[in-house]
Structure 1
């Protein structure tokens, strides 16, 4: 839920209120006061210029001599100047935003996209290192450390007195964002089994994210100032402190580190909670009485690229994850203006994710992972290609296609979290999930640039996202299947799974007949 709050907080923090140059001079007639700001035509509509005004000394002189604007003076002949006295911001929607607080407009407008990029860079760095740290020091410590990072730096941003300070704190805030999401996902996937694991990995985590996402516009609606909104979003982090004594460490990770006694203690505690009788020896293979004791298996991120099958699996998962997240943020940001009210727009965009996550859960329960991911990619690509064929007067149809695309991509993004966690062994699971998440976060950083391409061609961003989806769907054919199979504990167990091969080529290099294509997969 905190990730649902934080992922799109910048939608409100960085929104740009209506503004124009501030006019402090009071020695002006009412006519001149109304016409000091030039009228501009933007997207076919007239509005006050945001970054210029008529030279105030000239206007003051004309007003003192009793000239009437538009009758005695042609306004187009007057010289203009920048907003030397600052800006006046509308408070119809927001009391304040980062933009109005630090004047990130006109010549400083470049700081707006940079702020978002810095945040996503923090998410990227956090995702990269948290996975490896989690595999080294444990799932539980990293989960709570990254949650603390997110809470502390969100709170610290409330006291920012400059854009630079705010941006630096925002980067550290991003270190915790999604890092705790991935740590919690892997921890739950390793503690739970069977349908409970599927329920937690899909509905548990993703609906929690959607709930936080939908609560964001509600909080923003009642808290119109950016400082009060950040303060409210930082407080829920305190609720998680008592969970340290309730959430156990992953027994699978403990076993991978040779800490069988600690893992056995957790299992016995679970047996007591569930009122079942634990066996006298829980982990026979790890018993100290056995001659072959379990040895700690040391692994690192380079193991993901060392062996050919694992290398191909990692690269394909990175491509698919990149495509999913690029499409998710691209469609989320492009549908942010579904309604004239930004709070309703945000809520609609969040609400669409609920049926997507439910669909993901149903697919995880009954469908092979590989074909479920391919289906969502194709379903997401088709409406993105069809958007450019919709006539201009059927804007509602374009909206439906966009939302269908987001529904499919959101479903696929949820599937990928579980699919990735199921493919890798315990010693590399968090590292692999973190690496794939890191690569996918590159898509977050590139999304604003991708959407800017609409200036050259209105539908170019949709064509690129659709093409990425088609390429990723084909690449997914070469991934191994994990549906209905136990989680691999070691790298050797992962190697025993079906080898990655072209679905159209038989074992001896001969073409497989079409009627046997399904079995070859």
Structure 2
């Protein structure tokens, strides 16, 4: 049986077709970079202390109502406790402390809002912030297991665009989350979509490109554009200080990738393994036309796919 690379050798290694595939698949990775790291800004915890509504109408100050504690080697007002009032009418305090019964006041020096300030993920609920990242990683782990089976069953291209849709839609719904629980469930789904997209792009690039361009794609294409997503994130977060607006801005570019469906073909190797010779012939002939080369009159034969169609023992 002839190898797919051997059959399509006439296309060349680095023509317009290969260059377009390299660029399009690489830029599809950019949203993964900034979406994955966005929780750094979405869930950051600004400086805060117990809310003290009864101080507004009195001459008392924070030093009388809040105990001091050491934070990062410096004395600061406690973030999770306050002194108990001696009576309910005056702002007089004893030495006994209590929890923040009236919520928290958060500094707006760096952020207008984060999910931490939105749902008070501090003190007793501070564990929810790192747990959110753990849930995301669970989604990535789940996607790592199922992505291969989905791509083998339904195709690399379908998995790529399906996972991009899952990632974009789940991220858009997260903007309107009404609770931390809803937010974190959608974050799991987003993690699943991200790893499926990355794996699908990786496989599709390797199966569409030639030997000499595969190494550049997997080391430069994917990694550089992934890092570019990282670089875009701080710039957006610098100008946008509300977590919902920031997440919306990071989500909307996902819809710009819809037209790529008509420019990125399915993997010829996968189509050949499915016995879909007519489709793989059309893709290779279109690539040959784009590269300005003349393909053979017959590119693929039945025996080229017969062995690939036999299931492994």
| TM-score greater than 0.5 by the shorter chain | yes
Contact 1:13 1:97 (C-alpha < 8 Å) held by counterparts: yes
2:260 to 243, 247, 251: 243
Does 2:283 match 1:270? no
Report what 1:178 is aligned to: 195
Report what 1:99 is aligned to: 116
Distance in 2 separating the partners of 1:164 and 1:223: 24
Change (3 A) 1:80 1:168: same
Contact 1:258 1:294 (C-alpha < 8 Å) held by counterparts: no
Does 2:151 match 1:134? yes
Does 2:54 match 1:41? no
How far off its partner does 1:113 sit?
1.7
Change (3 A) 1:14 1:62: closer
1:227 to 238, 241, 244: 244
How far off its partner does 1:277 sit?
0.2
Contact 1:95 1:224 (C-alpha < 8 Å) held by counterparts: yes
How far off its partner does 1:107 sit?
1.2
How far off its partner does 1:17 sit?
0.8
Runs of 5+ unmatched residues, structure 2: 1-29
How far off its partner does 1:10 sit?
1.0
Distance in 2 separating the partners of 1:183 and 1:124: 15
SS of the residue corresponding to residue 25 of structure 1 reads helix
Does 2:186 match 1:169? yes
Contact 1:260 1:286 (C-alpha < 8 Å) held by counterparts: no
Report what 1:194 is aligned to: 211
How far off its partner does 1:33 sit?
4.5
Change (3 A) 1:239 1:159: same
SS of the residue corresponding to residue 162 of structure 2 reads helix
Change (3 A) 1:172 1:44: same
Compare the two structures and name the one with the higher strand fraction.
Answer: 2
1:4 to 33, 51, 76: 33
Does 2:127 match 1:113? no
How far off its partner does 1:267 sit?
0.5
1:50 to 70, 75, 79: 79
Distance in 1 separating the partners of 2:310 and 2:42: 45
Contact 2:60 2:91 (C-alpha < 8 Å) held by counterparts: no
Change (3 A) 1:43 1:223: closer
Size of the aligned set, in residue pairs, is 284
Change (3 A) 1:48 1:238: same
Contact 2:55 2:61 (C-alpha < 8 Å) held by counterparts: no
Does 2:313 match 1:296? no
SS of the residue corresponding to residue 79 of structure 1 reads strand
Report what 1:447 is aligned to: none
Contact 2:58 2:91 (C-alpha < 8 Å) held by counterparts: no
Distance in 2 separating the partners of 1:142 and 1:257: 16
Distance in 1 separating the partners of 2:111 and 2:91: 36
Runs of 5+ unmatched residues, structure 1: 64-74, 304-521
Change (3 A) 1:115 1:277: same
Contact 2:41 2:237 (C-alpha < 8 Å) held by counterparts: yes
Cα-Cα RMSD? 2.0
1:471-518 CA distance string (max 9 Å, x none):
xxxxxxxxxxxxxxxxxxxxxxxxxxxxxxxxxxxxxxxxxxxxxxxx
Does 2:104 match 1:87? yes
How far off its partner does 1:31 sit?
3.8
How far off its partner does 1:52 sit?
0.5
SS of the residue corresponding to residue 53 of structure 1 reads strand
SS of the residue corresponding to residue 156 of structure 1 reads helix
Does 2:48 match 1:19? yes
Contact 1:154 1:230 (C-alpha < 8 Å) held by counterparts: yes
How far off its partner does 1:264 sit?
1.3
How far off its partner does 1:59 sit?
8.4
Greater RCO, 1 or 2 (C-alpha within 8 Å, sep 6+)? 2
Contact 2:172 2:251 (C-alpha < 8 Å) held by counterparts: yes
SS of the residue corresponding to residue 155 of structure 1 reads helix
How far off its partner does 1:28 sit?
5.2
Distance in 1 separating the partners of 2:91 and 2:176: 44
Contact 1:32 1:59 (C-alpha < 8 Å) held by counterparts: no
How far off its partner does 1:6 sit?
1.4
1:145 to 162, 174, 182: 162
Contact 2:139 2:191 (C-alpha < 8 Å) held by counterparts: yes
How far off its partner does 1:297 sit?
3.1
Change (3 A) 1:119 1:33: same
Contact 1:119 1:170 (C-alpha < 8 Å) held by counterparts: yes
